[in-house]
Amino acid sequence: MTTMNVAQIPNVITVVRILLVLPTAILLWREMYVSALVMMSIAGASDALDGWLARRFNWLSSFGAAMDPVADKLLVAVLLIVFTLQGHIPIWIATIVVGRDAIIMTGAGVYRLLFEPIEFSPTFISKANTAMQIVLLLLLLLSLCGFPILSNVAGVVVDPYCFYILAILGVASGLDYVVTWGNRAWRNLRRTQ
């Protein structure tokens, strides 16, 4: 029988976080919002824990570097889809979020195919966009939990303020990636001529 290397603990936590996405989605779909909030809180805490462990003890791995953002994106995407299908998020917000990611991934694929592998390093505006997505989803979830006062305040903040801020950040960060990587592609094209 093999034993797990302690350096793999952050990777195990990341895998568990990915496995939490489906139950969280089911709870949301069934409108069990308080339970979904608990699951999302566990996912958020595990995200902080695996990152801290990896950095603190130098338990870094290529798996963790690749899968940690995938776990985050997966949870955000699933929550966004469920909330949009339930009518809590306007379709135009979902279109901006999904469209931005689709454009970035398509552009990255084309760039890799034509030029070289890409080392993604999120920009400040991209990190702000991701943070705003998480804030919006958490506040929306809180607004649906039915907590006295807290849910009302969260609901007022989400619609319209968080929607507009997320729309602005989504468009701006998408344009930032398109301009940055478009310029790199242009420079690579000029070098090959």
For residue 3 the two structure tokens come to 């034993």
pLDDT single digits (tens) 5-37: 888 999 999 999 999 999 999 999 999 999 999
**Residue partners of 142: CB distance under 8 A and separation at least 6:** 37, 150, 151, 154
The mean pLDDT of the chain is: 90
Decide if pLDDT at 1 tops 50.
Answer: no
> What pLDDT is recorded for position 25?
95
